[in-house]
Structures are given as structure tokens and as C-alpha cells.
């Protein structure tokens, strides 16, 4: 790889790539742990914490009740990071996301360099890293999706190897089956969908069912059967394993056509492509390269592009007809899309290429303006160090304009660096401002206050009381005692009561305290029964 880098790229391009690596570090890490846990982060962290507190790593729980929505593998990963970083914090929960993102970006580079060429591979990988959804959202949160998308993308790519390199049949089948097992242990049933569509893509492109006749297909499938079967066999020692299947299936179909009416589906079909153009902007600009009469011939001109196109279309079809899907659910498919549209960009006729370059050029020109606007708006709120760093980013983004006029063929790399510089200043300004204005900060301090004021005894959520998982995580982590859920007020020390969702227990009780939570900014009561 390094030899190809030296032989293929100019000195300026190599310098810009080094700049990408340098700027990416502060872009991805500064203020990563500042904001309070967000939504699903509370679930991921609380499940992992309860594993550590109970010593039971087989049957996940939430507030000491069985948690069936996800298998436990990602929680095991979080436990490892929590122990490495000295406990649970916003930083230790989110750092796995950044690490998996770095590995994922590297994998995209390696795969595309092998089947296309180095320059295209670099752009595809960096486009994924710096698209809007990744750079300004998913890279900041401790969700399961980055690790799962990495595994799923690798599995999809192995089907291309099976097709084009029959001599690696055994290795490709065994590895893809292992990834299928890992994917299931991360997120459940969707992995079977990606695996099945991988097989289908090969059958369509080869116009043959030979892939189904390969003995290694069936031998390799013993791996997920054994791995998943072994897990549930052990799980059965603690709880009825069959109870996990329905909730896992529910998670896989909750936002699909199975749960929605035809009108919602039709609306989604028309809006979904435009939503994704927005979420993965600015690199979706390269879709313009596909607006040509001979687009089918272009795609068929390269087997790898044909495979990526078909794999993307097969897999995205499920989400295309499924209302209420989040962009993070398709992060394993976005590199496939970027591979196709980047190929189309580099092979575009002169007019659409000029249009795309003009739009990219405008974005490079706008980057210093965005940084300037952020500096002006938040100048008084910034620490001196942040001001200096932001000014450096402004100067650097301006220098990129000078580089462009000297080396116009570096436009895409300049855009990557511009986006990363904007993210650095975004960390100093927007992230800090959101943290200061976030009601979740108050909810966190309230949860910690309650935990410090009542350090001993068990907190029990009474009946249907709804305590958001972030508050429960902060409480449990501070006290190192699991919260529980029960309708039996006689078997606990303290009850947490949500007056919106449940009645009070039939006992003489004392209201000890109250606290706010993030969800609906509700007030929860901490009570103790006197008898």
C-alpha cells in the first residue's frame, strides 16, 4: 500500500493526505465526551453496567429485567472499554465508535484499492468519513451501528471475492459465515438479510445457481449455527431462550412495511432517496454522474461496480419500503453507494463533471465563511485556547483555497480537509453551546444528586413507572447498585414513582425527594413505604 501511495500520488496529494490524518484526530476526539448520554447510549451503557454489577454476561438486563432487543456482543465490547478506561463515562462509551469508524474507513480504502485504484479508493473512504451523517452525528455517539456496519460491509464484500476469486472459496465462505455469526451476536436477524442478498447478487450477476452447489456454503454455515446455538444453550441455563426470539424479530420489523399502512409506505418511497441525498451530503452530489443515458453500460463496464450497484439496490430495497428507518441503519450500504457514484464521477462526461466540480468548489469556498460565522457567533463564549484553535482552522481553510488555485486536481482532498476543519470548530462552538443549553445536563445532575443523597439500598421502579435509561445509568453507576422494577413495594428500600404513568403503592409512604428526568422533563418521586 505504501509503495503504491508513493508511486501514484503527487507530493502535494501526499501532503494533503497527511493533513487529513492530522486534522481528523481533533475533529473526531475534541469534546467527544462532553455531552450527556443520548437516547440509545443509555441503553447500551446500562446493559453493560448491569452485566458488570451482576457478574452475569449471558443474559442482558435493563433495570434488572431481562433485555431481549439485542444480543450481548456489543455490551461485552463496552465492558472491555469501560475496564480499560477506568469506568463508565461519556468518553469511554463513545470511543469504541471512533475506533470502529477508523477501522471501517481503512477497510473501505483497502477493498476499493484492491478492485479499483488507489485514488478512487482514497476518495471513497474519505467521503464516508466526512459525509454529513457520519461527521456531524454518528461519529459522536456510542451506538452499536458503526461496529455492526463494519462487520456487515466486510461480509458483503466477501461475496464479491467468492464470485471473482474461486480459489479463495473456502476462506471467503468461512470468513463470511463467521461475520454472519458476529453480526447476529451484535444486532440479531438483519445479518441474515445481508448474507442472503449477498448470495442473490452473485447468482444474478453470474446468471447461475452454482453458488448454491458449493459445498463450502453449507460447511461454513455450521459456524453461525454453532456460535449462536452455543450462546442460547448457555443462555437457557439462566432464562428461557425462546423468549428472546420474538423481541429480536420485533426489533427487526418494527420500522418496516410489516408495521405501517400503504399510504405511509408510498410517501416514504418517494421521499427516501431525497432524505439520503441530504443525510450523506456533500458526497451525494456525485449522483449527478449517474444521470446519463448509458449508465447501465457504465455500471456493467466494471464487475466490481456492477456488484456494488446490485448489492446496494437489493439491500436498500428493504429500507426503501420501510417507513421510519434511521440513516444509521444503512451505514453498511453507504460505501457501496459511494463506490458507484465515485466511479461515475471519475468517468463523467465533461459537462456533468464541471457541474459537480463547481458544487464541490463552492463548498470549499464556503468552509471559511462557516468557520468565520461560528467564531463571530460564539466568540464571547469561547475559551482563549478554543479561540486560537478556531482561528488556526480559519487560516488553514483559507490556505486551502490558495492550494486549489495552484493544484486544481486536488479539489476532492481539499473538500475533505475543509469538512474536517469545520467539524473541529463545530466541536468548540456548537457542541459546547448545545451542552450548555441541554436540559439533559440538569437531568444528569439531578440523577447524580439522588444517587449521592441515598447511596445505599435498592431503587425500584414501581409498576409502569418510566425512568429514562440515561438517568437510570447515572444513578446505578454512581451507587454501583442495580435499579430494579417491581410492583411489590414490600421488597425494596426505595420506590421511584412516575405519577404520569402509574398509581402510588397501597401503603403509608413518605416522599423523600423528587427529581427531573429528560423524557418530557417529567418530575419523578422517590418514596419509602412506612410499613
State phi, psi for 141 to the nearest 5 degrees. -120, 150
pLDDT in tens, 186-230: 999 899 999 999 999 999 998 888 888 889 999 999 999 999 999
Give the list of residues 6+ apart from residue 49 with CB closer than 8 angstroms, or none. 82, 88, 473, 476, 477
pLDDT in tens, 223-281: 999 999 999 999 999 988 888 887 777 666 665 566 666 777 788 888 999 999 999 99
Better-scored residue on pLDDT, 293 or 407: 293
pLDDT of the residue at 264: 74
pLDDT band at 391 (very low <50, low <70, confident <90, very high): confident
Give the list of residues 6+ apart from residue 172 with CB closer than 8 angstroms, or none. 158, 159, 161, 162, 165
Grid cell digits, residue 462: 414501581
CATH node for 440-529: 3.40.190
Give the separation between CA 303 and CA 52, rounded to whole angstroms.
48
- Say yes or no to pLDDT of 323 above 80: no
CA angle 257, 262, 263 (to 5 degrees): 120
DSSP string covering 392-423 = HHHHHHHHHHHHHHH-GGGHHHHHHHHHHHHH
The mean predicted confidence, pLDDT, of the chain is 91
Amino acid at each position: 500500500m505504501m509503495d503504491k501511495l508513493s508511486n501514484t500520488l503527487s507530493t502535494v496529494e501526499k501532503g494533503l493526505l497527511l493533513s487529513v490524518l492530522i486534522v481528523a484526530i481533533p475533529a473526531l476526539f475534541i469534546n467527544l465526551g462532553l455531552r450527556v448520554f443520548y437516547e440509545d447510549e443509555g441503553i447500551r451503557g446500562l446493559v453493560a453496567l448491569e452485566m458488570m454489577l451482576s457478574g452475569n454476561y449471558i443474559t442482558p438486563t435493563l433495570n434488572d429485567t431481562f433485555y431481549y432487543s439485542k444480543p450481548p456482543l456489543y455490551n461485552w465490547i463496552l465492558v472491555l472499554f469501560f475496564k480499560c478506561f477506568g469506568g463508565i463515562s461519556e468518553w469511554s462509551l463513545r470511543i469504541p465508535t471512533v475506533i470502529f469508524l477508523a477501522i471501517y474507513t481503512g477497510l473501505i480504502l483497502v477493498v476499493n484499492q484492491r478492485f479499483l485504484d488507489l485514488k478512487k479508493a482514497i476518495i471513497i473512504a474519505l467521503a464516508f468519513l466526512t459525509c454529513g451523517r457520519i461527521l456531524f452525528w454518528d461519529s459522536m455517539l456510542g451506538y452499536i451501528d458503526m461496529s455492526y456496519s463494519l462487520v456487515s460491509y466486510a461480509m458483503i464484500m466477501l461475496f464479491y471475492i467468492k464470485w471473482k476469486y474461486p480459489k479463495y472459496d473456502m476462506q471467503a465462505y468461512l470468513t463470511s459465515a463467521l461475520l454472519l455469526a458476529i453480526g447476529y451476536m451484535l444486532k440479531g436477524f438483519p445479518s441474515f438479510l445481508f448474507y442472503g442478498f449477498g448470495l442473490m447478487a452473485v447468482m444474478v450477476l453470474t446468471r447461475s445457481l452454482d453458488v448454491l452447489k458449493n459445498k463450502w456454503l453449507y460447511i461454513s454455515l455450521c459456524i453461525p449455527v454453532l456460535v449462536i446455538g452455543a450462546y442460547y444453550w448457555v443462555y437457557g441455563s439462566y432464562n428461557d431462550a425462546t423468549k428472546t426470539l420474538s423481541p429480536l424479530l420485533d426489533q427487526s420489523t418494527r420500522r418496516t412495511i410489516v408495521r405501517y399502512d400503504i399510504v405511509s409506505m408510498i410517501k416514504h418511497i418517494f421521499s427516501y432517496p431525497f432524505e439520503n441525498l441530504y443525510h450523506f451530503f456533500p458526497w451525494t452530489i456525485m449522483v449527478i454522474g449517474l444521470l446519463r443515458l448509458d449508465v447501465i453500460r457504465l455500471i456493467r463496464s466494471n464487475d466490481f461496480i456492477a456488484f456494488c450497484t446490485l448489492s446496494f439496490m437489493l439491500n436498500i430495497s428493504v429500507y426503501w419500503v420501510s417507513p421510519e428507518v434511521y440513516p444509521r441503519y444503512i451505514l453498511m450500504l453507504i460505501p457501496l453507494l459511494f463506490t458507484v457514484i465515485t466511479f461515475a464521477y471519475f468517468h463523467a462526461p465533461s459537462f456533468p463533471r464541471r457541474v459537480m466540480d463547481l458544487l464541490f468548489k463552492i463548498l470549499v469556498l464556503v468552509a471559511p465563511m462557516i468557520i468565520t460565522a461560528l467564531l463571530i457567533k460564539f466568540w464571547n463564549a469561547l475559551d482563549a485556547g478554543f479561540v486560537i484553535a478556531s482561528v488556526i482552522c480559519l487560516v488553514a481553510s483559507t490556505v486551502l483555497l490558495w492550494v486549489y488555485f495552484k493544484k486544481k486536481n486536488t479539489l476532492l482532498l481539499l473538500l475533505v480537509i475543509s469538512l474536517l476543519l469545520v467539524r473541529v470548530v463545530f466541536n468548540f462552538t456548537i457542541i459546547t453551546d448545545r451542552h450548555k443549553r441541554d436540559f439533559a445536563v440538569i437531568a444528569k445532575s439531578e440523577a447524580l444528586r439522588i444517587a449521592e443523597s441515598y447511596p445505599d439500598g435498592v431503587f425500584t421502579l414501581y409498576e409502569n413507572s418510566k425512568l429514562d435509561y440515561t438517568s437510570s445509568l447515572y444513578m446505578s453507576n454512581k451507587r454501583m447498585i442495580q435499579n430494579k422494577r417491581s410492583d411489590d413495594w414490600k421488597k425494596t428500600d426505595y420506590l421511584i414513582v412516575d405519577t404520569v404513568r402509574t398509581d402510588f403503592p397501597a401503603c403509608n409512604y413518605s416522599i423523600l425527594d423528587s427529581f427531573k428526568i429528560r423524557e418530557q422533563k417529567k418530575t419523578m418521586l422517590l418514596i419509602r413505604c412506612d410499613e
